[in-house]
Amino acid sequence: MSRPANCLFWNIPTGRCGSSFPDLDATMPQPPVSFRLLSPRALIRWMASTCVLALSLNGAVEAAETAPAEIRLDYAYYSPVSLALKHFGWLEKALPEAKVTWVLSQGSNRSLEYLNSGSVDFASSASLSAVLARANGSPIKSVYVYSRAEWTALVVRKDSPLQSVAELKGKKIAATKGTDPYLFTLRALQKAGLKKDDVELLHLQHPDGRTALEKGDVDAWAGLDPHMAASEIQSGSRLLYRNRDFNSYGVLSVTETYAKDHPQAIRTVLSAYEQAREWAVKNPDELARLLATESGLPLEVARLQLTRTDLSNPQLSAQDVEASKAAAPILVAEDLVRKGVNVEQVIDQLITPEFSKAVIATP
């Protein structure tokens, strides 16, 4: 059978007019009977509208086909909202056909390592740690704020003679490289007129840093809650230096590829996070008990941590961009980023508020 003159989609295998997609054929604008009599301009307009519709339908099909069969997230004791989300299973309820896998993170460095290696799809870290990771080549996007906490300080033993940061010159400090406590330490040293080479920094994970401090193996520790709160209450450790402005906020990050391929999955996860955050804000006592149970620490430790944790504002904003840019110079000054990297540009590329804006309820 020969192709009719007014047939745009001739299906060779079937020998009939129409594509291989019946649903698409039914939706597609049909050519007019007077097709051959259309002016060139009218014909172009008709064909353009047909192509746009075909592409949009094809995009919808592809989006449905790429929905992930498994979603992998980390949870952390420094992110109480993640504990609530995991405990109540709200994400599992929102995604009954997907497998939800949880991985424990002991610090921002571990969390971002899991993200970069493909072990998790969503990573909980300090915002400045995310900046550092992206500046050094990790193609990630920060999409949500899970907390704004004063979660780090420089800690000394209760019997330490040290009274100022300046007195740390030549001393040993335990700090987990690539985390907010590590970057907090560098900023504190800089403010006191010191550089990292003026002290001996020992790279220890947060729980090990606490142990090293209490055993006397180091002179100070860049603490992180809840380990810092536990050391204060259980061992009488003292906060040598506090500065809320030097604490960066906690962000949830994904890879650029994931953001491109799974935008709906991101919105679903953030909606579940919002459910957990709202529960946490309304139920502080229950949140403290949950944190204590999950971390294995006394309830009074959990309560102390939560007094330093603000869960009221999960939305990324222009103020967050500016706060990150204000902290960025320390990354360059201490040679923590690759040569020639524009850190301010990195921050603009990293912070992506569009996903959270779509799910966060406005008052």
- Long-range contacts formed by 24-31: CB under 8 A, 24+ apart: 24/54, 24/57, 27/53, 27/57, 28/53, 28/54, 29/53, 31/6, 31/7
Whether the pLDDT of residue 40 is over 70: the answer is no
Tell me the CATH number for domain 152-246.
Answer: 3.40.190.10
Contact call for residues 51 and 98 (beta carbons, < 8 A): no
| pLDDT interval class at 307 (50, 70, 90) | very high
pLDDT given at position 42: 56
Which sign does the torsion angle of CA 247, 249, 252, 255 carry? negative
Which sign does the torsion angle of CA 269, 274, 277, 283 carry? negative
The correct CATH number of 70-149+249-359 out of 3.40.1740.10, 3.40.190.10, 3.40.50.2000, 3.30.365.10 is 3.40.190.10
Contact call for residues 101 and 70 (beta carbons, < 8 A): yes
| pLDDT interval class at 148 (50, 70, 90) | very high
Residue with tokens 């799974």: 262
Q: Where in the chain is the domain with CATH 3.40.190.10?
A: 70-149+249-359, 152-246
- Tell me how far CA of residue 99 lies from CA of 116, 237, 254, in angstroms: 20, 42, 18
CA–CA separation, 75 and 55 (whole Å): 39
For residue range 80-138, list pLDDT tens digits in order. 999 999 999 999 999 999 999 999 999 999 999 999 999 999 999 999 999 999 999 99
Whether the pLDDT of residue 36 is over 70: the answer is no
